[in-house]
Structure 1
Amino acid sequence: MIYPIYAYGSPVLKKEARDIEKDGDVDVKQLAEDMFETMYAASGVGLAGPQIGLDLRIFVVDAEPMDEENLQGFKKVFINAQILEETGDDWGFEEGCLSIPNIREEVIRPEKVKINYFDENWEEHTEEFDGLAARVIQHEYDHIDGILFTDHLSAFKKRLLKGKLVNISKGKVKHDYKMKFPVRK
């Protein structure tokens, strides 16, 4: 099932998501499958629960379309993830977001991340990632903590983007995937 992607300005995007209970009422395998389907329909490489209106600590990544050698086969589901450590040199890379269409800006992040999470089979993992894999994880992890990539920008950059962001929240933006906007006038 393809979900609509919640646009900038939607309250769920600024809320810290809650853990998913292992024996609760969330079918994580089906949810992950639906999230991948939604992400592929929007040509994304990552998607978090809040982006489809769910305040749940789940995100999916498939960075293979980035066409980097070390990202081939990098497809994972992260449930109840916790970043344990971010290390290495800070480096900039232009990021975009399915919830903020047509805006890309350089974001500075540490080059390595160590993360603990459960996969869709409730198997626990603690792994380290670096480079673009780490960046995709950090970006999606931010979503489950209520943080958008624009929150990492300078006050000056945010002022420059304010009009575009307001227009996105009003649905005044070109997009080629299903979206849900917080303000429609």
Structure 2
Amino acid sequence: MRRWAASVLLLLLASPTRPLDVGRRDFLTTISAATQSQTWTPTALEKLTLASAAQLDQLPFARYPDPILRLEAKPVRRFDAALAKTVALLRAAARRHGAQGLAATQCGVDAAIVLLGDEAFVNPRIVERSPEARLRCWTERCLALPPDVRVETLRDETLTVAATTAAGVPFTTTLTGAAARQFSHEYDHARGVLIIDHAYDAVASTAFPAMARLEEPFHTERRRRAWDRA
């Protein structure tokens, strides 16, 4: 049963950038049979628009291997009350989970929004990076991943980012050191990239033993996207 379920689960997770449309109940049933983890409970969030997110009192939080974590977020087109409410909900979610930063997709919202502290970056773009020779090594964790997962990453020492505020005002800022690393982490989330994609080989987890098996078939392509500095 577990071998069959694992095969089905791999099909459900097949897209490296955009998850397949599967029912939440089907996904949770399949992943339960495939993994039987006692220490990590995955989610299967429904995809939210800005309008539907703004109707909520509290945003959910995705846990690996929820397909929503592989969503490449859509650009925000309307700077309206729904956007302002969603950004406020994202700030509340970050505080609730003790997150220094957050991407909207981590809460199931299909919108290109990144939080760094309380600052919202809507439709962010990296417009300049420090030279490759100044890449800096970090050990990273992620609230969306099992707690024992730690990955060595190489991040730009300095980034210049162009974005728009939730009020629709364009801005550009330069981030350095830990702030640049944190932004890169959240910017990855908005592209459907996780820290485990930065590892040379598929990452294992004792809290969620199925992780390496789920990641291995797609890891080479996901690593290529994670390492791309274009």
**TM over 0.5, shorter chain:** yes
Residue 159 of structure 1 and its aligned partner are, at CA, apart by: 4.2
Question: What CA deviation, in whole Å up to 9, does each residue of 1:154-182 have, x standing for no partner?
Answer: 11xx2433873637xxxxxxxxxxxxxxx
Name the structure 2 match of 1:142.
188
Contact 1:5/1:98, CA 8 A, preserved across alignment: no
Name the structure 2 match of 1:100.
145
Q: Which amino acid aligns with 2:88?
A: E
Name the structure 1 match of 2:60.
4
Decide which structure has greater strand share: 1
Question: What CA deviation, in whole Å up to 9, does each residue of 1:61-120 have, x standing for no partner?
Answer: 21xxxxxxxxxxxx3101011111221411111211121141232211111111110111
Residue 15 of structure 1 and its aligned partner are, at CA, apart by: 2.0
Normalising by structure 1, what TM-score? 0.75
In the TM superposition, 1:111-150 aligns within 5 A as 111-150=157-196
How many residue pairs get matched? 152
Could you tell me the percent identity over the aligned residues?
26
Q: Which amino acid aligns with 1:90?
A: L
* Stretches of structure 2 lacking an aligned partner (at least 5 in a row): 1-56, 212-230
Normalising by structure 2, what TM-score? 0.61
Name the structure 2 match of 1:17.
73
Q: Distance in 1 between matches of 2:185 and 2:136?
A: 14
Could you list the structure 1 runs, at least 4 aligned residues long, displaced by more than 4 angstroms after superposition: none
Q: Which amino acid aligns with 1:92?
A: C
Decide which structure has greater helix share: 2
Q: Assess, with a 3 A threshold, how the Cα gap between structure 1 residues 94 and 117 changes in structure 2: closer, same or farther.
A: same
Residue 29 of structure 1 and its aligned partner are, at CA, apart by: 1.5
* Stretches of structure 1 lacking an aligned partner (at least 5 in a row): 63-74, 168-185
- Structure with higher Rg: it is 2
Q: Which amino acid aligns with 1:37?
A: A
Q: Distance in 2 between matches of 1:141 and 1:165?
A: 27
Name the structure 2 match of 1:46.
101
